[in-house]
Structure 1
Amino acid sequence: MDFCNSVTCWWIFFMGFLFHASFAHQSFADQARFSQKTRNLAGATDLARCLAPSNSRVAFPGSPEYQSARIVANGRFPYSPAAFVFPNTVPQVQNAIACAVQLGIGISPLSGGHSYEDYSLGGRDGVLVVHLAGFKGIEYNKKAGTVKVGSGVRLGPLKLALWNLGKVTVPAGNCPTIGVGGHALGGGWGFTSRKFGMLSDNIIELEVVTSTGGFVTANANKNADLYWAMRGAGANSFGIVTQFTFKVHDVSAPVTSFSFTFQKSQQVQTIRAYQMWGLAAGAEISASLYLDPSGGNRFYGTFLGPSSNLNGVLSLFFANAPSPSNQTVLEIDYIHTALIDAGLSQDANPSVLNLDNYTYSSFLFKAKSIIVKAPGFSDAGIQTFVNTMQAGQLTSYFIFDLFGGSASIVNKIASSATAWVHRDSLFNIQMVSYWQFNPDQASADIAFMSKIWNAVLPFASLEAYQNYIDRDMPLSAYYGSNLNRLITVKRSWDPTNVFNFPQSIPLN
C-alpha cells in the first residue's frame, strides 16, 4: 500500500526517528487479555513445536519482540496474531505455511505493515504472521536493466540502493517505510509512474511459495496465470512472494521537484485547473493535489526534466489556476526528490532513507479512495466535493493523485493485461481522517469519510485503489472486469483458501 503520501508521510516518517508513539504502548496495554485469547485460538505449544524444525525465529505473545512486531501503521485494529515467524529462507516460509495448514490457523505475510485495514496482521486474531524482513536482498543487474528485490525490503532503502548502484529507480510510492511486497502486489503508484508505469507493471518475475508448500517462479512464460494475478491482486490471496525481479529506469539526469500553494478560497478553481491540465500532461511529469478542510491547497510533484522546461509543462495549469501564494521549484538529482517526498529537506543526507535506527509507530485513521475518470469532475462535482470537505472534520485530508491522462503509460496498458484494472482513470482521490490525539473523535471521522465518499460518487466511478483498501468496499471496486478471472486463478493456485483475509480473492 501507498500510505503516507504527502503530509502524512512527513508525520509518520519524521516522527519515527523521534520517539516510540505513546499510542503503541497504550493500545497494547491489554496484552495479557489478547495473549490468553491467542493461546486459546492457536495452541501456542503446538505451533512452537511445529515451527521448531525450521529453526526460524519466532515471537509469541508476551515477548518484547512480539509487541514490537505488532506495531503496524494503522493501530485502529489491535489484532493479536498467534505468533510472528521471521524466516530468512524459502524452506522456513514453506514450514510456516505447512504449520498453519496443519493446525488450521490463518497465515499472513507482512512486508511493511502499512495495510489501511491492518490486513498485514491477517485482519483477525489468531493468525500466524510471516514477517518478511529477513528477505532483504537487492541485486542490481546493469546489463539486463533489472533488480532482484527481497519482499521484506522497504522503499527508502530500495531507492537509495538503486541510486548508489546505478542512478536508476523503480516507479514506487513516496513513503520510505512502505514495504515493497504489498505495495508492488497492489499496484504501487509514485511520482515517476506516469512515465514508467505502476510498480506492478514493472514486475518481470516473482518467486512464490504456494499453499501446498511448492516454490514456483512466475513470469510471462512460466505460470503466466499466477504472474498475471499477482500484479495487482497478489497480497495474500495466492501465495507468499519471497523475491521480485523488477525492470529499472535511468534517472541519472537532473529532475525538478515543484510545489505551489494556494488559498482556501481558491480550492474550486485549483481542482478545475488541475484536472484540465492532467488530461493532457506529458508523461514526464507526475503530480498530486492536496486539499483539506482548513484550507490546505497544494499542487506538487516531480518533473523528469530541467527546471527551465517546467513553465512550459505547467502552462495549461497556470492558464486556468490562480496565482500561487508560495512556490518552490528545485532542480536536483532524483535521490533528493525522494527526501522531499518523504517530508525531509533536500539538504538531508540521503543515508536517512536506509531507515537505520528508525522507530516504527502506529497511528489511528480511516481511509477511503475513489477513482475519477476523464474528463474529471463536472463543475457540480467540484463544488460538491469542496462544500462537503470544508464543512467536515478538520483532522482529514484529500490527495488527488494523477494516475492517467492521455500521455500516461498507466493508461496505455490494457485493463486485462494485469490484475490492476484501473487503466482509464484520470486521478484517484485518497481520503484520510485521523484521530491520533482524540480517540473520542473516531466515530465522527469515520462517518465523515463515508459522507464525502457518497457525496462525490455521482460524479466519479465505482472504482477504488486496492492499495488504499477499505473494508466497506466490494471487491468489484478494486478488480472490476478482472474479478472473475482472479477467482479462476485462485481456485487453481489456492483451492483450499489457505491465503485469505476479509477482502482476499474468494473461491467463488
Structure 2
Amino acid sequence: MPASYPAVLALALVGAARAATAAPTCTAGTQLDAEQALLARYLYELRNNRQADCSPPDFVQNAAEQGFVVKQLCTEPGSAPTDTYTNLTASFKNSCKNNNPETKLKLEALVRRCPGQDPTLQPWAADSVTARVAPLPDNFSCPAGLEPIPVVDDEIDFTPMWEFNHLCENSMKYKLFPADPSAVPKCGGGAAWLTTTMQDACYSPSTGEYSGYCNILFTCDDGKEHNVSVNAAGKTLGRDACPWPMFLPGSDGYDPQFDFLNQASQASRGAGAHHLATAPTPGSAPAPAGGDLAACLASAGIEFVDDSNPAALDQACKVWNKLNDTIAAAVAYPADVAQVAAAVLCAKEAGIKPVPRSGGHSYMGYSVMPGGLTIDLNRMNVTTVSADGATATVQAGSRLGQLYYYVYNQTGGTKAAVGGTCPPVGTGGLFLGGGIGPLTRQYGLGCDQLEEVQLVDAQGQLVVANASFNSDLLGASCGVGGGNLGIVTEYRIKLHDAPPNFTIVAYTVVSSQALAYLNYLNIDKGEIDVLCQYPGPKKELQSLLASEGLLGAGTGWNVTAPPDWQEMDWIHSVMYQAFYDEVVKQPADLLNIAAMEKKYRTYFKLKSFFAMEEVSDAAWQTMIEWEAKIDKYGGYVELDMFGGTPGAVGAVAPNATGFVHRGALFSIQYGAEWRKDVMTHKVIPLIEQMQAALDPFFDPNRPAYINYYDIQVGADPLESYYGTNTAWLQGLKAQVDPDNLFTADPLAIPAAASASPTPAPAPAPAPSPAAGGGSSASPAPAPAPAPAPASAAATPAAAVLH
C-alpha cells in the first residue's frame, strides 16, 4: 500500500456566471447533514477518479480511516435557480504526493440540481434508482419493453454499456452503501478502487430505462480484492437536462468528455466570465467596447473562453488532427445567427481575424489560427426536413452524423442526404469545399445539392443566396472552401429517395492480377482493396459487375478471399462506410460525436490531387513502392472515383460553381494516420519524400481538392484549388469582403485588388454584388444532375492500394 500523508483539499464549486452578490452560508464539517456529507464525499471521489498521473481510491467507505475530514462547507446561490456554488475545505491522506504532504488543491466545479433530484445520482431519476447485491440469474432475460445492451470491446464513454456501468456503480456508492454499509465488502484501509463490468443488462432507447446486473471488483486499500454482483435499475433524465456535478475547465479533475454544460466555452472568472445579454440582430454592432474582445463578446451574450483561463482555452482549441496545437486569442460559441454576426463584429472591432469552425477537421487545423477568434458553430446543429421530404435545412454546426441521422429519423428511412463518409466532420466545411462520398457518382458532390445558403458577411450582415437571389454567391459556395466569403450559418439541400436496400461489396484483387485489374479500370497498378456501393439488391449488383467484367465467374479475376457482400438500408450503409464500428453500432450512435472524437482522433498528414487523365505507369509504381515503406505507420493511397465528364459530377460546367475540377477521373489521396506522437518524426519525412518523388510526373500546379487542405499542394495553391475560376472567385471576394477580414487562413482567397496576378481564366460569368439581387450574368447554381446510369453507380467507389 502506498504511503499516505495528511494534506489540505480545497474544493471551490463555482459557476460560469457567478452572481457574486449573495453572501455565502457556511457550515462547519461537524455540523453537515447527511446530504451535504454525501455531496462532499462524491466530489472528493470524483476528483480522485480523474487523476491522470496517480489513481487514489475512488470509493471511500470509512472517512476517518482515510483521513478525509470536512472542515467547512460554504454554499452560495448561483445565477440560475438550479445552480449552487460551494466552497469545501477538507483534509485527506494524499497517497499521490507522499513527498509533499502539504499539497493544496483548488478545484472548481458546478452543481446543477434537477428538481427533486439527489445530485450524486444525476442524471438518473432518483425515485427510479434501485440497487441490491444479487447474483446474475441463469435465466435472465430483458423485461418487457427493453432490449439487450450491446457489448463493446472497449469502455467507450456514453455508449449504453457505459451508461449502465455508471448507473450500477453510482447507485451502489450513493444509494445502496449509505442505506446499508454492511451490504458491500468492508475494506481494511477504509477505501477501494472500483472496476465495474456489465454482466447482462437491458435498456430502452426511447424511454431511457435501464435494468440489469454488473460485477464490481473492489480492490481494497489493504490489498484485498472482492467481487460483488449488483442488480441495478433506473431511468435516465438525460445529461443535458440533468447533469452530474462537474469540475470547471482548468481545474484538477476537469475532463471535456464529461462537460455536459459546455463549460469549456465559459471562463470561470474575470474577462472570460459569461454574462447574459440581448444579442444584436444580424448586422447591428454590439455595444462599443474600445476593442476589448472579451467585453464585446460578453456584452453580446456570447459564451466564450479566452486566455483568462489558459487550460480551458487550450482544451477549446483542440481540433481533430493532433498535429495541430495552435492557440487562438479566444473561442466563441454563438447560439444563433445574431450571435455569429456579433462575434464577427467583435473580432473586427478588436482588430483580429474571425475564423469559423464547424467540425474542426481542417487537415491543416486552420479553424484555429494564432491570434484569431475561432467562432465555433457546434451549438447550431439542427437539421429539419421539409414536410414533403424534398429538402432539409441544415445548420452549419451540424456534423455529418447528425445530418444523416436526423434525415433518416424524420423521414422514416425513405430519404438520403449526399455528403461525405466521416460522421464527425462538420457540414459547414464539407459542403463549401465540395463533399465527396458514397452517393457522389449518382447525385454529384454534396454541394451540388445546395438550394440556398445563408451567411454572415464581413459587415455582420446576413446574406441569403439562392437561385433567384445572389445566385453567383450560391454557385461560388459550391467549392469555394470554408470561411473564404463569410461564415455560413445554414444550408438548404436537396434530399433523394432512398431505395429499400443498398448493396456493398468489398474485395481484394490478388497482387499478381492487380496491375491488369487496375488497367482494366483505367486506374493502374498495385494490390488493391475495392469497395463498391450500389442502390439496389445484391443480385442486381452481382449481375452488373459480371456484365462489366469487374467481378464474378468468367471474368478471370482472382480475389484474396470471397467478396464480402452486404445488403442494408441507407443509414446502415452510412454506418458501414464510416468504419467507426467500435462506437457506431446503431443509427442513434451517429449522434455520439464525443465518443468518436475520443476513440478515433489521431495524428495525420494527407496530401491529394485529382487525376484529370490517365496516370503513368511510372507514377503508379512510385506510389506502390512508397506505400510499402509507410504501411506500418498507417499509410495508404486512396482513390475516390468520379468518372469524368459523363458522370454526375462532370455533368455540371466547371465555371458554374466554385468547384472547377469537374472532369476528374478520380481523386488520389495519400499519407498516413498514426496514434503516437513519437512516430511523427518518422512519418512526416516519408510523406514529403512521396510528394518530391511524384513532382516529375505532374504539373507543379496539379489540380487538388480544397477540403484536403495542404499548404504544400503546389507552386500556386489558388491555381491548384480553383484553376480557371480563381479570378471570378477573387472578384466575388472583393464584393463581399473587400478588406480581407476572412483571411486568417494562409490559403484563403484574397480579394481581387490585393491578389497576385493569375493566369487569364476561361470565360466565366460576371459576379453580382452579394447584397443585391440575382444577375442573369452570374453563375447559375449547380443544376441537379440526372441520376447516373446503373453501370456508373456500380463502378467501384473507392480503392486503396497496399
Common topology (TM > 0.5): yes
Given candidates 557, 563, 575, the residue that maps to 1:339 is 575
Matches within 5 A, 1:180-195: 180-195=427-442
Q: Deviations over 1:243-270 (max 9, x none)?
A: 0000111113211011112445554344
In structure 2, do the counterparts of structure 1 residues 458 and 171 end up closer, same or farther at CA, with 3 Å as the change threshold? farther
* Structure number with higher relative contact order (C-alpha < 8 Å, ≥ 6 residues apart): 1
TM-score for the superposition, normalised by structure 1: 0.83
1:353 counterpart residue number: 590
CA contact (8 A) 2:291 2:351 kept: no
Q: Which amino acid aligns with 1:143?
A: D
TM-score for the superposition, normalised by structure 2: 0.54
Q: Deviations over 1:431-455 (max 9, x none)?
A: 122343243x434422322332343
Given candidates 492, 496, 500, the residue that maps to 2:735 is 492
Secondary structure (helix, strand or coil) at the match of 1:195 reads helix
Secondary structure (helix, strand or coil) at the match of 2:484 reads coil
Residues in 2 aligned to 1:163 and 1:435: alpha-carbon distance in whole angstroms: 33
2:305 counterpart residue number: 59
2:655 counterpart residue number: 416
- Given the alignment of the two structures, is residue 258 of structure 1 paired with residue 499 of structure 2, yes or no? no
Matches within 5 A, 1:476-487: 476-487=719-730
Bigger CA drift: 132-141 or 264-273? 264-273
In structure 2, do the counterparts of structure 1 residues 142 and 196 end up closer, same or farther at CA, with 3 Å as the change threshold? farther
- Given the alignment of the two structures, is residue 143 of structure 1 paired with residue 388 of structure 2, yes or no? yes
Residues in 1 aligned to 2:507 and 2:646: alpha-carbon distance in whole angstroms: 23
Given candidates 547, 550, 553, the residue that maps to 1:317 is 550
Stretches of structure 2 lacking an aligned partner (at least 5 in a row): 1-153, 163-254, 256-271, 273-288, 756-802
Matches within 5 A, 1:69-218: 69-122=316-369, 125-143=370-388, 145-166=390-411, 167-218=414-465
2:798 counterpart residue number: none
Residues in 2 aligned to 1:14 and 1:142: alpha-carbon distance in whole angstroms: 40
Residues in 1 aligned to 2:155 and 2:705: alpha-carbon distance in whole angstroms: 26
**Larger helix percent:** 1
CA contact (8 A) 1:370 1:453 kept: no
1:388 counterpart residue number: 626
Residues in 1 aligned to 2:565 and 2:693: alpha-carbon distance in whole angstroms: 35
Given candidates 507, 513, 535, the residue that maps to 1:304 is 535
Given candidates 456, 471, 478, the residue that maps to 2:711 is 471
Residues in 1 aligned to 2:467 and 2:562: alpha-carbon distance in whole angstroms: 47
1:9 counterpart residue number: none
CA contact (8 A) 2:156 2:595 kept: no
Residues in 1 aligned to 2:661 and 2:703: alpha-carbon distance in whole angstroms: 8
CA contact (8 A) 1:268 1:382 kept: no
Offset at 1:242? Answer: 0.6
- Given the alignment of the two structures, is residue 368 of structure 1 paired with residue 614 of structure 2, yes or no? no
1:504 counterpart residue number: 748
CA contact (8 A) 1:373 1:460 kept: no
Residues in 1 aligned to 2:689 and 2:724: alpha-carbon distance in whole angstroms: 27
CA contact (8 A) 2:424 2:596 kept: no
1:330 counterpart residue number: 566
Offset at 1:67? Answer: 3.6
Highest CA radius of gyration, 1 or 2? 2
Given candidates 686, 696, 709, the residue that maps to 1:448 is 686
In structure 2, do the counterparts of structure 1 residues 480 and 53 end up closer, same or farther at CA, with 3 Å as the change threshold? same
Secondary structure (helix, strand or coil) at the match of 2:693 reads helix
CA contact (8 A) 1:228 1:418 kept: yes
Q: What is the count of residue pairs matched by the alignment?
A: 457
Secondary structure (helix, strand or coil) at the match of 2:675 reads coil
CA contact (8 A) 1:402 1:426 kept: yes
Matches within 5 A, 1:220-259: 220-259=467-506
Given candidates 21, 46, 54, the residue that maps to 2:292 is 46
Offset at 1:207? Answer: 0.6
